């Protein structure tokens, strides 16, 4: 599975949109982009995933570039409870055994 | 409520004393997996199971055992714990490979 590169930390003002980038330049055609987050030392929480089209759910939006080499997770109205480490992962669909979490981005939402 | 339940949440033990961390899911998921999380190393997979009686090694399986005798349970066994197994452990499950992982709340293990 391809590896990902994320900035180690980002700040965001409460109520503003948080845009978290992820680089996955070696992604292959059958690899999906997944986003998870981890609040303190709780279990990681699934946010969203996509293959090539932009995706939106009740938590966030995922924008994938046309060449699929990078993506952006958007939290439209960040709250203090969104402070967490966000992980971008690429993974082959139905590949059970590989799920590299990497170091993620620590998002600090500030009042 | 759909969930992955790990027990115990905290465990302090001594070197060499066998222990088991239990993991149970109530979502009829086929796939289950164990991870450990250490500062600076992220989440690393220990073992995974694609279904009952089917298990395989992840990236860091040394010193651990698992079993999958029932679909809902996937215990992690440390036959002879050592201090380098001090870590935060997570169990996770998913319906199938194309489904998101659901994680438990973690077990913080300290081996002295």
For the segment B55-81, what is each residue's pLDDT rounded down to a tens digit? Answer: 999 889 999 999 999 999 999 999 999
- Tokens coding B69: 């005798």
Nearest residue of A to residue B55 by CA position? A97
The CB-side HSE value for A91 (13 A sphere, CA atoms) comes to 24
Task: Answer yes or no: do B97 and A102 touch at CB < 8 A.
Answer: no
pLDDT tens digits for B12-50? 999 999 999 999 999 999 999 999 999 888 889 999 998
CA gap A100, B2 in Å, rounded: 25
DSSP B3: -
Task: Answer yes or no: do A93 and B106 touch at CB < 8 A.
Answer: no
Residues A87, A71 contacting (CB under 8 angstroms): no
Residue A10 β-bridge partners: A107
Closest C-alpha to A102, from B64, B45, B60, B97: B45
* Average pLDDT value for chain B: 94
- Tokens coding A89: 């992962």
Residues B102, B1 contacting (CB under 8 angstroms): no
Peptide bond into B8 cis (omega under 30): yes
Residues A75, A60 contacting (CB under 8 angstroms): yes
Torsion of CA A80, A82, A83, A89, to 10 degrees: -170
Task: Answer yes or no: do B101 and A44 touch at CB < 8 A.
Answer: yes
DSSP B111: E
Closest C-alpha to A61, from A78, A79, A38: A78
Q: Please report residues of B whose CB lies closer than 8 A to that of A34.
A: 100
- Tokens coding B55: 């298990």
Residues A86, A107 contacting (CB under 8 angstroms): yes
DSSP B35: E
Nearest residue of A to residue B40 by CA position? A103
pLDDT at B98: 64
DSSP A103: S
Encode B55-95 in three state secondary structure.
EEECCCCCCCEECCCCCCECCEEECCCCHHHCEEEEEEEEC
Helix (H, G, I), strand (E, B) or coil at A4: coil
Low-confidence ranges of chain A (pLDDT < 70): 1-2, 93-99
A46 interface with B at CB cutoff 8 Å? yes
């Amino acid at each position: 599975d391809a590896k990902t590169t994320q900035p180690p930390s980002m700040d965001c003002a409460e109520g503003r949109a948080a845009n978290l980038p992820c680089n996955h330049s070696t992604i292959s055609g059958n690899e999906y982009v997944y986003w998870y987050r981890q609040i303190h030392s709780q279990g990681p929480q699934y946010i969203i995933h996509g293959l090539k089209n932009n995706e939106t759910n009740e938590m966030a939006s995922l924008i994938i570039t046309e060449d699929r080499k990078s993506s952006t997770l958007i939290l439209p109205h960040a709250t203090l409870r969104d402070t967490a480490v966000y992980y971008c992962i690429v993974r082959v669909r139905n590949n059970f055994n590989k799920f590299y979490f990497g170091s993620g981005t620590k998002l600090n939402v500030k009042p | 409520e759909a969930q992955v339940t790990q027990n115990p949440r905290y465990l302090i033990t001594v070197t060499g004393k066998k222990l088991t961390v239990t993991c149970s899911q109530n979502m009829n998921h086929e796939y289950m997996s164990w991870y450990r999380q250490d500062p600076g190393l992220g989440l690393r997979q220990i073992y995974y199971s694609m279904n009952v009686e089917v298990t395989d090694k992840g990236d860091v399986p040394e010193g651990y055992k698992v079993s999958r005798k029932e679909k809902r349970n996937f215990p992690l066994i440390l036959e002879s714990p050592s201090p380098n197994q001090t870590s935060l452990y997570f169990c996770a499950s998913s319906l199938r490979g194309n489904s998101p992982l659901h994680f438990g709340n973690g077990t913080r293990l300290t081996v002295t």
